[in-house]
Every structure is written in structure tokens, then in C-alpha cells.
A = this chain, B = another copy of it.
Amino acid sequence: MARIVMKFGGTSVANIERIRHAARHVKREVDAGHEVAVVVSAMSGKTNELVGWCTEAAPMHDAREYDAVVASGEQVTAGLMSIVLQEMGIQSRSYTGWQVPIHTDDSHGSARITGIDPENLDERLSDGWVPVVTGFQGISDKGRVTTLGRGGSDTSAVAVAAAVRADRCDIYTDVDGVYTTDPRIAPKAKRLERVSFEEMLEMASLGAKVLQTRSVELAMAQGVRLVVRSSFDDPDAPSAEGSEWGATGTLVCGEDEIVEKQIVSGVTLAKAEAKITLRRVKDRPGVAAAVFGPLADARIVVDMIVQNVSEDGGETDITFTIPDSEFDKALNVLKAAPGLEYDSISGSKGGAKISVVGVGMRSHAGVASSMFKALADKGINIQLITTSEIKTSVLIEEEYAELAVRALHTYYGLDKADG
């Protein structure tokens, strides 16, 4: 017997029929003897409707009232899920964020969970009930309803799993797991059986939008094992052979659980990246702050940053990337920035960032150089390079993006055998 938290996203609870389908997944686990808590998002489209009303009421609206309005979406789903579970003969009770309670700070609209009192849920679980908890929300010290920001339901699920010391947190979504790359680009992409928290973080922030980054960070910090799987699966399908969690899906876990560490686990792509280069910048303490401070003040998110070793003359080149949409704004901000001395500023839109990610890189030299060779073999020019412990990223021309992804996917042996 295990204790499992099952989280269903908006498309998995889009209407009563979908909620009933999701409930059959819950029933399968209950029938198998597990203790189950459920976390739900709002029915897909509902959050947008509620946000739309707030904006229509006042373009700049009070975040406290926004939260009061928007949090109602999950409340509806939780009650409906409980009704459906009861109809299936499962004892169930819904819990809003304040009823659990899930404590948060008072950063309305993007609150952080500060703690969960597990008593109510623990009692229900021990009694064989299925508590259904609203994702995405909590309550502040001031007794006001808060929301965690978009995608926060994943984070709620992980936090609940940590609070009730669950053996696993299953994230049901509209894809059946985490893939080695985007199957729309590389049809030979294959589903990963397991991926480490660290790899997942690098992939999530790079555009593999299966799990919200915050939820993976929290899972890693709390040691909560995640399974990403599809709610569109047949809930009554027999368990996949040898799979602990009973079906397809990807286990996101600590590295210690991953026996055969791939050098490269995945290839990710982010398009529409613009680069800006400042030539012969005076290299003195504080120069990076002089460049990136004004950009941060203008709320421009900078991605890759490359600074060459300073030449003898105490001058250096700095290059960084930003979304294409911020290109003109960023140029203007830098041209107006005080105390910034350089020879020239230039740049261009239309880049693509390709990254290879894998915990095996740590113990395996030469991944970067092999990556450059694989791209050179296809005649693809590399404009920028950045590396981290388990990731190597390059910026290339956008038109080569898909070719590069497919080439690297094949090069690192990620293609499906039957693909």
C-alpha cells in the first residue's frame, strides 16, 4: 500500500465527462489499496473567464480581489470531483486552500506556500477517504485567499504530497510523459522512463512545458517523486510490466534512482531569441550591473550571457540573448543607460537556442565538443555557447533549428528503435 497524491490539470477536468474519466484513475488506485489525495485545477477555460472579468472590471485591479475571484475556479472542480467520486462509491470530501489549510505569504497573485497543516488530510487518508484539494491557492496570515500564479496547481500538489509524506505525486496532464525532445520537430522523440529533478529543471525552463519549474524545484527540495502521465489513458488498462506506477508516464526522481545515466537525456529548443553585443566595454567592477541592471528595471528577461576574457587594454565584449519581442526596447534601454562606456552596440533577431541536457555530462568529458562537431557536420554555424554542469546550449540561426534538434537527437542515440 502506498500513499499517492494525484493531480489533474485543467484539460483533465474540462467538463463533467472528463472529471468522471479522471475519477476512474482515482478509483483504480483506491481499489488497489492505496491512500489517495487528489489536487485539481480549474476546468480549462474557467480561469481565463474569471481573469477576463477582473480585467473588464478594472484593467489595474487589486490583487487581493483578483485572488478572491479567480480562486473560485478550483473550488468548483474540487466539489464536482468529490461528487463524482462519491457516485463511484468512494468516500470523498473537498477542501479549499483555507480549509486544509495551505498557508501562503501575502504576495497576492503569485503567493508562495509557507506551510501546510497536514492534520485534516492525514485524518481523511487514514480513514480511507479521498480528500480533494483545490490547487493554485492558499490563505494568508490575514485570512485572505491567495493564488500561486499560473501553473501553481502542480506546486500545490507537490506541497500536499510533501505534507502528507506521500510515496508519489502523479501529475495527470494531456501528454503521457517527458520526451527526449519535441515530437513535432523530431518524430523519433521517445518518452523517458525516468528523468532526474535536475534534468527536468533544465528542460522545463528551456521550453519543455510539461511541469511548472517551481513544482520541480519543490519536489527536488522535499524529495517528492513525481510521475508525469496522461489523464487521457484508459484508466482501467492493465499495469505496464515492471512499472511501479502502473502505466506509461515518466518518473521524475532523484539521481540515485536513475541507474543508467544517459550522457544526454534530452534536446530542447527555444526560438525567437535575439542577441545583442556590446563591443569593447570598459571592463571594471560593476560593468555587468551597469548593463543588466537597466534591463532588469525595464523587466526584460535576459537568457544567455557571454562575456569574453578581458583583453590587455581592460576592455571586453559582452553578448546576451533576449526574446525577439524585447529587442528594440532593450537597445533603447542600453543606449540611454548612464555610466556605460563601449565602442559599439549591435545585434539581431531570429536566433534559436538549442540545448542538450543530461546528468551524465558531469562524469563525461567532451559533450560540448561532440555537440559542436555534430552541428558542424550539418554545416550549422554556432553564434554563442554557454554551459552549465548538466547542460550545453548554443545559439544558432533560427532556420537551422529543427535540423539541429534532429541531428543532435540522432547523434546522442535518443531516437526510438522503431522510429
A-to-B contact residues, CB < 8 Å:
16, 19-20, 50, 53-54, 56-58, 61-62, 64-69, 71-73, 75-76, 78-80, 82-84, 86-87, 93-94, 96, 98-99, 143-144
Contacts and interface: CB of A to CB of B under 8 A. Distances in A.
B62 A80 contact: no
Contact of A79 (B56, B66, B73, B76): B66
A87 B68 contact: no
B53 A76 contact: yes
Contact of A68 (B53, B64, B68, B79): B79
Contacts of A61: 83, 86-87
Contacts of A53: 16, 76, 80
Contacts of A93: 64-65
- How many chain copies does the complex carry? 2
A93 B143 CA distance: 12
Contact of A76 (B62, B72, B99, B144): B72
A65 B84 CA distance: 10
Identify whether the interface residues of A are mostly helix, strand, loop, or mixed: helix
A58 B76 contact: no
Contacts of A79: 54, 65-69
Contact of A83 (B20, B62, B99): B62
A243 to B, nearest CB: 31
Given A72-B72, A76-B72, A98-B98, A66 B83 contact: yes
Which 8 pairs across A and B sit closest by C-beta, in order of nearness? A69-B79, A68-B79, A58-B87, A72-B72, A57-B83, A16-B56, A65-B79, A61-B83
A76 B86 contact: no
Contacts of A69: 75-76, 79-80, 83
A411 B144 CA distance: 58
Contact of A80 (B54, B71, B73): B54
A57 to B, nearest CB: 4
B58 A68 contact: no
Contacts of A144: 99
